């Protein structure tokens, strides 16, 4: 299996040569002599659903680019509710030791990944809904950062309350912000690690809980401050290091069933390339015995989207999630190459430095591409610009299918314009 992960440096050096190649619909350079036009080749959007970053409205033009276009991700709202509930239940269970300064106020800080990312928006809303700190605007909980709010006067959040063991506690979002570095990359772990130091220097023992929109930022804050100060930290993604850290006091995380997502990302392409029913090997058993049960995924036909379901990972079950790169057993059977000929796939990861995608998702993809007889070329972006990625799609003719992970959810046309 030829697996190539092009580094940014290497890609830049190749950019000139690639852009000189044909990007039209001719036959030259197409795998196996395929005459399929690029605009008609199977396409899967994954991890970042084409949508308006301000309103969350889905980009149905991108999701209906051709008859073999789909999205693969996870149920963001279901996962967000699980995360919020996990934090609330932890507070209720540990209230006797959680209020560090005994002021009757449970103060938490929140690391927001990307204010324009629909998953990040959902997670912020999920935490605020569960803890009663959300304020509504136009029927939705506001997901904008609160900034510094130790005085409880921010307009983006409100004080919540929890009745525990006959006593009423105030719950306050002391601070929250988007974790963006000086270069513009969001979900930035280093920024989160620095920010927790700034927050705690100001708030001290007012901080009782740390919440994060993902484990990359959560673990950075945990290692920088929370672990030593024994403050529970909650993240999202069930990265291996975060799951292991639960034994050391990390409060918990959410598994978005990356094993199922990675399988679906490539399986949908495999089915389209084989010309079989899209449900093959998903809800319907394939010729190798691969099949998913209905409790691990859902399919929304109107949105042309497959969603993996989420699971809370806490001290009660974390040992079952210690290795996040193990393929999901029910769909780990090798396809026969005689019936499923090898095909070429171009797949990009929006940010080669993203902890979840690089340490969990890609290792899973690399195992499934073998099982599904797909020769995948992995392209790592810089997390800042679409052009850093699209410049390396200069000759789509040579690929049979595409899997795209955008930097920004609004930018689907940057890719479909090339394929057209």
Rounded mean pLDDT, 78-98: 97
Rounded mean pLDDT, 218-227: 98
DSSP E strand boundaries for 274-397: 297-300, 305-308, 311-313, 343-349, 374-380
pLDDT digits (tens, 9 = 90+) for 34-49: 689 999 999 999 999 9
Q: What is the pTM of this model?
A: 0.75
Give the containing element (helix H, strand E) for 170.
strand 167-178
Provide the pLDDT for residue 14. Answer: 38
pLDDT digits (tens, 9 = 90+) for 23-33: 333 343 344 44
Rounded-to-integer distance, Cα 200 and Cα 369, Å: 45
Strand 253-255, strand 140-141: pairing:
unpaired
Rounded-to-integer distance, Cα 52 and Cα 1, Å: 37
Provide the pLDDT for residue 355. Answer: 85
Rounded-to-integer distance, Cα 153 and Cα 360, Å: 39
Q: Evaluate if residue 73 carries a pLDDT over 80.
A: yes
Which is higher by pLDDT, 149 or 117?
149
- Give CA 297 to chain center in angstroms: 15
DSSP string, 40-99: GS-EEEESS-SB-TTT--B-HHHHTSSTTEEEEEE-HHHHHHHHHHHHHHHHHHTHHHH-
Residue 276's pLDDT band (boundaries 50, 70, 90)? Answer: very high
Rounded mean pLDDT, 264-272: 98
Rounded mean pLDDT, 193-220: 97
Residue 15's pLDDT band (boundaries 50, 70, 90)? Answer: very low
Chain-wide mean pLDDT for the chain?
92
Provide the pLDDT for residue 372. Answer: 98
State phi, psi for 280 to the nearest 5 degrees: -60, 130
Rounded mean pLDDT, 162-191: 96
Provide the pLDDT for residue 264. Answer: 98
Provide the pLDDT for residue 53. Answer: 83
Give the containing element (helix H, strand E) for 173.
strand 167-178
Nearest by Cα to 395 from 4, 14, 13, 3 = 14
Provide the pLDDT for residue 54. Answer: 80
Rounded mean pLDDT, 74-82: 91
Rounded-to-integer distance, Cα 410 and Cα 390, Å: 15
Rounded mean pLDDT, 370-374: 98
Rounded mean pLDDT, 228-255: 96
Q: Evaluate if residue 85 carries a pLDDT over 80.
A: yes
Rounded mean pLDDT, 55-65: 94
Provide the pLDDT for residue 19. Answer: 37
Provide the pLDDT for residue 34. Answer: 60
DSSP E strand boundaries for 75-166: 105-112, 136-137, 140-141, 147-148, 160-164
């Amino acid at each position: 299996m030829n697996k190539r992960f092009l580094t940014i440096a290497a890609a830049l050096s190749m950019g000139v040569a690639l852009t000189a190649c044909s990007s039209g619909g001719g036959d030259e350079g197409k795998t196996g002599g395929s005459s399929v036009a690029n605009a008609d080749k199977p396409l899967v959007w994954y991890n970042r659903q084409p949508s308006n970053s301000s309103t969350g409205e889905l980009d149905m033009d991108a999701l209906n680019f051709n008859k073999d276009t789909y999205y693969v991700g996870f149920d963001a709202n279901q996962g967000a509710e699980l995360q919020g509930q996990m934090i609330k239940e932890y507070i209720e269970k540990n209230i006797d030791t959680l209020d560090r300064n005994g002021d009757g106020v449970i103060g938490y800080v929140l690391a927001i990944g990307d204010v324009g990312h629909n998953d990040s928006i959902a997670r912020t809303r999920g935490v605020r809904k569960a803890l009663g700190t959300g304020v509504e605007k136009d029927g939705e909980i506001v997901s904008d950062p609160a900034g510094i709010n130790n005085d409880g006067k921010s307009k983006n959040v409100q004080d919540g309350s929890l009745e525990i063991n006959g006593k009423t506690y105030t719950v306050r979002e002391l601070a929250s912000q988007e974790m963006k570095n000086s270069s513009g990359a969001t979900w930035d772990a280093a920024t989160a690690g620095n920010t927790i130091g700034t927050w705690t220097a100001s708030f001290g023992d007012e901080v009782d809980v740390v919440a994060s929109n993902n484990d990359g930022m959560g673990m950075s804050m945990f290692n920088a401050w929370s672990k030593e100060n024994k403050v529970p930290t909650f993240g999202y993604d069930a990265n291996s290091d975060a799951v292991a850290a639960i034994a050391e006091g990390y409060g918990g995380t959410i598994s978005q069933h990356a094993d199922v997502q990675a399988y679906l990302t490539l399986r949908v392409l495999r089915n389209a390339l084989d010309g079989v029913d899209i449900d093959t090997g998903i809800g319907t058993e394939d010729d190798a015995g691969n099949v998913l049960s209905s409790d691990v995924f859902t399919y929304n036909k109107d949105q042309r989207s497959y969603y993996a379901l989420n699971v809370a990972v806490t001290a009660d079950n974390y040992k079952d999630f210690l290795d996040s790169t193990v393929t999901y057993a029910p769909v780990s059977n090798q396809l026969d190459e005689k019936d499923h000929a090898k095909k070429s796939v171009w797949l990009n990861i929006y940010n080669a430095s993203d902890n979840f995608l690089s340490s969990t998702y890609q290792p899973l993809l690399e195992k499934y591409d073998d099982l599904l007889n797909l020769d995948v070329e992995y392209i790592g972006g810089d997390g800042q610009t679409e052009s850093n990625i699209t410049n390396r799609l200069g000759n789509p003719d040579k690929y049979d299918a595409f899997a795209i992970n955008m930097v920004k959810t609004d930018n689907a046309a940057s890719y479909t314009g090339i394929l057209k």
